[in-house]
Amino acid sequence: MKSRIPVVLLACGSFNPITNMHLRLFEVARDHLHQTGRYQVIGGIISPVNDNYGKKDLVAARHRVAMARLALQTSDWIQVDPWESEQVQWTETVKVLRHHHSELLRSLPWKEGLDQGKVDSPGPAAVPELKLLCGADVLKTFQTPNLWKDKHIQEIVEKFGLVCVDRAGHDPKGYILGSPILQRYQDNIHLAREPVQNEISATYIRRALGQGQSVKYLLPDAVIAYIKEHDLYTSPGEE
Amino acid sequence: MENSEKTEVVLLACGSFNPITNMHLRLFELAKDYMNGTGKYEVIKGIISPVGDAYKKKGLISAHHRVIMAELAAKNSKWLEVDTWESLQQDWIETATVLRHHQEKLEASSCDQQQDSPVLERPGRKRKWAEQRQDFSQKKSLEQTKTKGVPKVKLLCGADLLESFGVPNLWKGEDIAKIVGDYGLICITRAGNDAQKFIYESDVLWKHQNNIHLVNEWITNDISSTKIRRALRRGQSIRYLVPDLVQEYIEKHSLYSSESEERNVGVILAPLQRKTAEADT
Query: Where residue A23 sits, what CATH number does that domain have?
Result: 3.40.50.620
Task: Look at residue A173 and tell me whether its pLDDT is greater than 50.
Answer: yes
Smallest Cα distance from A68 to chain B, Å: 14
- Is residue B211 a contact partner of residue B9, using CB atoms and an 8 Å limit? no
Chain A contact for B29 (CB, 8 A cutoff): yes
Q: B-chain residues within 8 Å CB-CB of A197? A: 220-222
Are the beta carbons of A198 and B239 separated by less than 8 Å? no
Residue A235 lies in a domain: no
Q: B-chain residues within 8 Å CB-CB of A201? A: 219
Are the beta carbons of B218 and A204 separated by less than 8 Å? yes
Q: In which band, very low, low, confident or very high, does the pLDDT at B138 lie, cut at 50, 70 and 90?
A: low
User: What does the mean pLDDT of chain A come to?
Assistant: 89
Residue A210 lies in a domain: yes
Predicted confidence at residue B2, as pLDDT, reads 43
Q: In which band, very low, low, confident or very high, does the pLDDT at B222 lie, cut at 50, 70 and 90?
A: confident
Mean pLDDT value of segment B244-258: 95
Predicted confidence at residue B122, as pLDDT, reads 47
Predicted confidence at residue B125, as pLDDT, reads 47
For the whole model, what pTM was predicted? Answer: 0.85
Interface size between A and B, measured as CB pairs under 8 A = 66
Residue A83 lies in a domain: yes
Question: How many structural domains is chain A composed of?
Answer: 1
pLDDT per residue as tens digits for the range B57-99: 999 999 999 999 999 999 999 999 999 999 999 999 999 999 9
Are the beta carbons of A204 and B26 separated by less than 8 Å? no
Residue A236 lies in a domain: no
Out of A6-15, B121-130, B235-244, least confident range: B121-130
Question: Among partner residues A27, A28, A197, which is closest to B220 by beta-carbon distance?
Answer: A197
Chain B nearest-CA residue for A225: B76
Strand (E) or helix (H) holding A228:
helix A221-229
Task: Look at residue B34 and tell me whether its pLDDT is greater than 90.
Answer: yes
Domain of residue A212: give its range: 5-107+127-230
Q: A-chain residues within 8 Å CB-CB of B225? A: none
pLDDT per residue as tens digits for the range A84-110: 999 999 999 999 999 999 999 998 765
Mean pLDDT value of segment A21-38: 96
- Is residue A126 a contact partner of residue A64, using CB atoms and an 8 Å limit? no
Residue A183 lies in a domain: yes
Are the beta carbons of A213 and B244 separated by less than 8 Å? no
Question: Among partner residues A28, A198, A216, which is closest to B223 by beta-carbon distance?
Answer: A198
Chain A nearest-CA residue for B224: A196
Q: In which band, very low, low, confident or very high, does the pLDDT at A117 lie, cut at 50, 70 and 90?
A: very low
SS3 label, residue B30: helix
Are the beta carbons of A24 and B26 separated by less than 8 Å? no
Stronger pLDDT, A207 or A200, i.e. the higher one: A207
Stronger pLDDT, A85 or A57, i.e. the higher one: A85
Task: Look at residue B273 and tell me whether its pLDDT is greater than 90.
Answer: no
Residues of chain A with a CB closer than 8 angstroms to some CB in chain B = 20-21, 23-24, 27-28, 30-31, 74-75, 168, 195-201, 204, 213-214, 216-218, 221
> What ipTM was reported for this prediction?
0.84
Predicted confidence at residue A56, as pLDDT, reads 83
Are the beta carbons of A28 and B237 separated by less than 8 Å? yes
Residue A116 lies in a domain: no
Are the beta carbons of A196 and B30 separated by less than 8 Å? no
Strand (E) or helix (H) holding A12:
strand A5-13
Stronger pLDDT, A230 or B137, i.e. the higher one: A230
Strand (E) or helix (H) holding A186:
none
Q: In which band, very low, low, confident or very high, does the pLDDT at B211 lie, cut at 50, 70 and 90?
A: very high
Chain B nearest-CA residue for A202: B219
Out of A25-34, A102-111, A161-170, least confident range: A102-111
Chain A contact for B78 (CB, 8 A cutoff): no
- Is residue A29 a contact partner of residue A133, using CB atoms and an 8 Å limit? yes
SS3 label, residue A118: helix
- Is residue B23 a contact partner of residue B221, using CB atoms and an 8 Å limit? yes
Residue A184 lies in a domain: yes
Residue A182 lies in a domain: yes
Q: In which band, very low, low, confident or very high, does the pLDDT at B42 lie, cut at 50, 70 and 90?
A: very high
Cα of A103 vs its chain's centroid, Å: 17
Stronger pLDDT, B233 or A108, i.e. the higher one: B233
Task: Look at residue A123 and tell me whether its pLDDT is greater than 80.
Answer: no
Burial class (CB in 10 A: 0-12, 13-18, 19+), A8: buried
Which is nearest to A26 in space by CA: A194, A157, A196? A194
